[in-house]
Structure 1
Amino acid sequence: MASSTEGIAAPAKFTASLGADNEREWRSFKQQFESYLLASEKDNRPEETKVALLLNIGGEELLQKYNSFEFPVPATGNPNPANVLKDVLAKFDVYFSPRKNELVARYKFRRCVQETNETLETYVTRLKILVKDCNYGNQRDKQLRDQVVFGCTEDKLRQKLFEVEDLTLEKTLDLCVAFQASKRQMDVIKSTPRQTNDSVAKVREKSRREKTTDSRHNADHDGRPRHENNEGRPKSSKPSVPTSKLRPCKFCGEKHEWRKEKCPAHGKKCIKCGNYNHYAVKCKSRKINYVSGNDNDFDVNSSDESECEYLLRPCDTTLEVWTLDTVRPKGKCRLVIRNCKNRKKYNLEFLVVDCKYTPLLSKRTSEQMGLITVNYENISATKDVLDKYDNVFNTDVRTFQNVVRLTIDTNAKPVVIPKCRVPINLKNRVCKKINEMEKQKIIAKVDQPTDWLILNLVNLDDVLICGVGETYEEAVKDHDSRLIKFLERCQAKGIKLNKSKAVLRKSEIAFLGHKITSKGLMADPKRVEAILNMKPPTDVAGAKEFTDMINYL
């Protein structure tokens, strides 16, 4: 009698090439071989027989690798490891499963994404195999869940997963299975040709038409039955209208008898303007832009001319905003607005633009409404002073009319000072400036020995003019008086000033590291910023630097 295990087929030969990259193929072959031994009841055979089955089924390449293995010499009384299936499989495991690189395994896991024609089940299976070598520990399920969500190609599935609260790996896999199943069902439905009832509808329509035709043939125009000898179509009861009486209608657009009861648009509502007795195609109402609202809020709308509150008139003006972009207004209109403080109303003209900009009022309008006050006397006074002494601010440099004498202490002795070193990146600029000053006869070149030689030029030409008074008006008046006297002196002595540096009527100004204000003298914040932000000293050099700075101050 034949055994029940004779029909069990042996696993396929191990066809993968030998190497460390075929670990997955080896694991699959090993699992199939062990299942074959168990199913065919050959697991109880001697170890040598099982090793022989492995090498026979595995093929020539597996046999050659087996011959290259070096097994330890067995102890006395112990079987040879080369003939023990467990030891032989362990040798192959070591060969096909080299030492794992955790970083490389995690890189492969993170780079694994679903392929174009790959199902979700296959993709999840690949991820489960790759995650085994990543050594995530108790974070394995979370990492696997994240990679399934990030790596899948279905955006709808990803959106559903994002909407689930407290998403776990189990919920993720369940949703993937459900989504894949529903997708397959939809593909089946789309691939099945949809049957229509067009033929049935045509048959019913045809039968209904034939029935109506038969009834017409068998009845007179007033409903009475015809005689059998009356053949042909019944004559129409409506009298025919001559073509000469058909005229184009300005209400419906068709040609008919010139009577309103004959017009199909009579009594119908126009969908464009809402009025009756005409179609929208013949509607003569004109849609225009208009502005509506109250004293505070206004809206730009479109409607019939008869419904407009404030008509939006055309405008050819082009506006330029602070970003230097140009905007063409949609139109202009006059609106009545109210000042919320004095409750007065003003009729003003506005330019309307089709952009979300903050509404603006012009300077003239703001002054008219009492929102701002401009002191034109101060502006005009400053401009008049600069225009009156325009020759003082001329850029032409001239020499003084008289000889200028500098008094030197008779006890002072000349000292030889080495020439000043100029940084290389500033050398060209310094030379250019010196040549320019020499051409303007501000300085002169020394080409012979002298007792005194000035090598360093200190250009300290800033002038401050202050005004003093009990009130602001008195201080401004005193300031202008001193300014005029100073400009007259400069005009008389030929002194030139730089107009670009002129700053007039300021309540505070920075000068030589200080800040001069109406409240007194204080340090310039820009100069003391480095001192305030100075870090506490941590060594001897830092402490010396700190004490030197204190002594300098």
Structure 2
Amino acid sequence: MDSKGPGNFSPDGDASIVSTNWRSWVEEFEAFSDSKGIFNLDGEGNVNMRAQRKALLLYHAGARVREIYGMLAATDRDNYNGFETNETFQRHVFRKMVQLENETVSQYCARLRKAGGNGCNYHNVNDQIRDQIVEYCISDVLRKHLMEEGNALTFERTLVLASTHESVESRFREMSSRPLLNRVSDNRPGTNRSSNGFRGSRTGLDREQNDEDSSDRPDAGNVSQNPDRFAFTLNSINKVGLHRAVVQVGGVDVKFILDSGADCNVIDKPTWETLKKGGIVVKKSERSGPKIYSYTSQKPLSVIGQFWAEVHCSGNGEMAKNTKFLVIDSVAEALLGIKTCTELGLISIFTNLVIEEGAAWKSKFPKLFSEGIGKVDGEITLFIDHTVVPVAQP
């Protein structure tokens, strides 16, 4: 023990830990006081020594303990070890407890209940825990929901709302972490290196490909010589409003985003594993594929392989034979490109309609479509808000 004393005591933190630490601190202080000849002895003749011992305790314990000492009832101020079981002290510790990072409300509640039964002597500890959760829970959104309940908010209702909120937040974070792939026009020449771990399914595709379409098979160990024709943008938010459809890939249902701007079909590694478990029938597979770049990125996404399979649309009975899919080593929603969407009748493009309507307008207003560039008499002003930052959209 340091001859200068035990040092300051911190009354902040978990109530059970604080109580344990206080008992240890008091034992050390008692040994220190005894070594100085300042004893805690009963009797009228020892009043001054006990007062000196109390003053020494308050000095060594520090400013925070002296602050709590000032809140104690007068009858408790003469007993220096009264802090250990003092109701005011224990309630002070209880009120300082806040929800910790990565701690659920249920876990926070358990800590509060332990502290509330540790000398606080609350008449209704559940109400105290409820109020503490409202005051010191981490989520402001949850706090708002709890306060909206008003007088109807019970301890049980608090736990139900907290559990629901945490479940929704967890699901939202999971959905937000799944990137979407949408095309951005950009072509980058080159070839992709072989990726490990890409295998087929029940058609004997533990090799790089099966015997079907063997004329298209690259030499063993070589990579595919596909050019890098595809570029995508990865978005971290699971956007709504995109068109989706369920189609069969090699006999297994998959939900795709229909992207009229993408010129390839892409699935992620978890979806590929699901397809294999579902018994997908593929025509050919390779442990390679073209490079795919995120928008404005110079680093390609990791393409672990590609495969070919028949695709069926149960909604209209259309089929696309020998359709190629790229598999990326990531987590993303499956994407169906324009070529396959058109073959399956999921997307239609009407170009003749524009031409025919243009001809009709030209016939109706020939002066407006005469040779030369048209103009408007006088001047016009274009109002532009230069404070608006321009953004690029796929």
TM-score by length of 1: 0.22
Decide which structure has greater strand share.
2
Decide which structure has greater helix share.
1
Structure ranking higher on relative contact order (CA contacts 8 Å, 6+ apart): 2
